[in-house]
Structure 1
Amino acid sequence: MRANGTFSVKAFVPTELKPEPPVATGLPVGVATLEKHFEGEVAGRAATLFTAAYDQESGVGTYVAMESFEGSLHERSGAFNFVHSATTSGSDRSAEFFHIVPASGTGDLAGITGSGGLAVDADGTHRIWFEYELGGNDPGV
């Protein structure tokens, strides 16, 4: 099944966490926490750990995000984790990765598997979609 939605970032909080031992690179690595809210066939909220090596001025870098989602997909309620990453050279996205973490589903979303994606429209609207299946392979079922 495919579930589509939009989301907004309600909080983006940089942390003091830094890689140890320190290694000087062309782009420093930073870690932040995010809170996102979702609407549409994907409805709910997520708590996110966001790691990036990114230059704000040029828009060049790569991020990796681990999200804990709580809400519903097509009115099936529960929670699960998903991970995504992408690289940008300033005006594009490449090397995109998006995957639902196996065995992380709860409630009506127990046994969820699949992938998805993110896109940002020209007007700044953030879109998300999940291509998912629900099955009995989750040990918590």
Structure 2
Amino acid sequence: MRASGTFTVTSFVPAGLKPEPEVTTALPVGLATIVKSFEGEVTGRSTTLFTAAFDQDSGVGTYIAMESFEGALDGHEGAFNFVHSAATSGSDRANEFFTIVPSSGTGALAGISGGGGLAVDEDGTHRIWFDFDLG
């Protein structure tokens, strides 16, 4: 099955956590927590642990995010975790990875498996889709 929707970031809070001992590289590494709100066939909210090595001036970097979602996919209500990452050279997405964490589903989403993806439209609209199986 596929469920798609749009999302908005409702909170992005940088965390002060740094690796110890810290290693200085050409791109600074940061950690933040994010809250997102979803609409469409994907409805609900997520909380995210977000780590990135990123240069805000050039838009170059890579991120990895672990999200905990609660809501509904195509009317199936519950919660689950998913993880995604991508790299960018400033205006693209490359080396994308997106998967639903096995055994993380609850409610009508218990047993969920699969993957999905993210895209950002030219107008800034953030899109998400899940290609999933409920086992």
Structures share fold, TM-score greater than 0.5: yes
* Residue 138 (structure 1) aligns with: none
Q: Does 1:112 align with 2:112?
A: yes
Post-superposition shift, 1:4? 0.5
User: Aligned Cα RMSD in Å?
Assistant: 0.4
CA distance in 1, matches of 2:98, 2:79: 17
Matched residue SS, 1:14: strand
Percent identity of equivalent pairs? 73
- Write the mapping of 1:25-36 to structure 2, written as runs, cut at 5 A: 25-36=25-36
Post-superposition shift, 1:91? 1.1
Superimposed CA distance per residue, residues 115-140 of structure 1 (whole angstroms, 9 cap, x where no aligned partner): 000000011100000000001xxxxx
2:20 counterpart letter in structure 1: E
1:91 counterpart letter in structure 2: S
* Residue 123 (structure 2) aligns with: 123
Superimposed CA distance per residue, residues 57-103 of structure 1 (whole angstroms, 9 cap, x where no aligned partner): 00000000000000000111000000000000111110000000000
Superimposed CA distance per residue, residues 5-39 of structure 1 (whole angstroms, 9 cap, x where no aligned partner): 00000000000001111101001110000000000
1:36 counterpart letter in structure 2: K
* Residue 46 (structure 2) aligns with: 46
Equivalenced residue count is 135
Post-superposition shift, 1:106? 0.1
Unpaired runs of 5+ in structure 2?
Answer: none
- Write the mapping of 1:81-100 to structure 2, written as runs, cut at 5 A: 81-100=81-100
Post-superposition shift, 1:113? 0.2
Matched residue SS, 1:122: coil
* Residue 14 (structure 2) aligns with: 14
Task: Compute the TM-score of the two structures, normalised by the length of structure 2.
Answer: 0.99
Task: Compute the TM-score of the two structures, normalised by the length of structure 1.
Answer: 0.95
CA distance in 2, matches of 1:23, 1:79: 36
Unpaired runs of 5+ in structure 1?
Answer: 136-141
CA distance in 2, matches of 1:122, 1:92: 11
CA distance in 1, matches of 2:74, 2:93: 28
Please identify runs of 4+ aligned residues in structure 1 that moved more than 6 A: none
CA distance in 2, matches of 1:127, 1:56: 22
1:92 counterpart letter in structure 2: D
* Residue 103 (structure 1) aligns with: 103
